[in-house]
Amino acid sequence: MNKTQSLLYFHFFTLIKAPKFIIPLGVFIFLQLMHYMTVHNPPADFFSYIFLSELFTFVIAVWLGHTSHNFIDNTTEQLLILRTKSHIKYYTIHTIFLFNISTVLALIGIGIPTILSFTGFFYQFTFAYFAYSLLLFLGSSFAGVSLGALFHPRVIPQKAEAPFYAIFTCLIAVTRHPISQAYPFLTYPLRLLPNTSAHHAIIPNSAHLTFPIVALLFLTSLAYGLIYSAIKIYALSKNKF
């Protein structure tokens, strides 16, 4: 347990000092503030704003997931793997770390509109709005960081092209629902990607906000994240340094 905690602390403190983390986090906060601060005479339901914010969260999560393995050089990573005595254990701990990052993103994503609701700039949040929105954000951000982490330099042989593959996959993911509507024959292949873009159709307004629906969406996104993580752990365990 101590090794797990020390590795999590190591990843955390390495991450917060890296510009590749600070910049996207700053972009994320800026986008969220601009998104909610520009609300004028909002419609009767706040979900039209929440779901767009959820897409922002997903995109930034993919970005952070993709860069998460760039904060530590190969030599340091090999030493950490030797310390844990297992590739699988090391990358499992890293997956826990990514879940913690997704939790931070979810708290920021829902924290900003919550704070603004107290200042009168946005809707008055109820506890249900906060809890359900937090679950949606957490599921989407974990699916995002896990998807981004799949584009690891040792998983994608074309290291120079990996960022472009990650960006392209992210764009397809956030437009999965409209693409499926326009081209039904792509519905099944697109199921390989999270369905964050369809959440606004599944919960069009607060009248459809129920725990079973939100829980299903959260568990589905969580399952995507766990599957992506399992694929990454398997690939990295087989494709050693």
State the CB neighbour count (10 A cutoff) for residue 148: 27
The pLDDT confidence band at residue 230, using thresholds 50, 70 and 90, is very high
Read off the pLDDT band of 228 (50, 70, 90): very high
Q: Which residue range(s) make up the domain with 179?
A: 2-238
Mean pLDDT of the chain: 83
pLDDT digit string, tens, across residues 35-87: 777 765 555 556 777 888 889 899 999 999 888 877 777 777 788 888 888 88
Domain tally for the chain? Answer: 1
Average pLDDT score over residue span 204-210: 74
Asked if 241 and 159 count as a contact pair (C-beta separation under 8 A), the reply is no
pLDDT at 121 over 70: no
0.75 exceeded by pTM: yes
Selected residue with higher pLDDT from 105 and 128: 105
Percentage of residues of the chain with pLDDT beyond 70: 90
List helix spans (H) across the chain: 2-16, 19-37, 47-67, 74-84, 87-119, 127-149, 162-174, 176-182, 187-190, 199-202, 211-238
Confidence check: pLDDT of 226 > 80 = yes
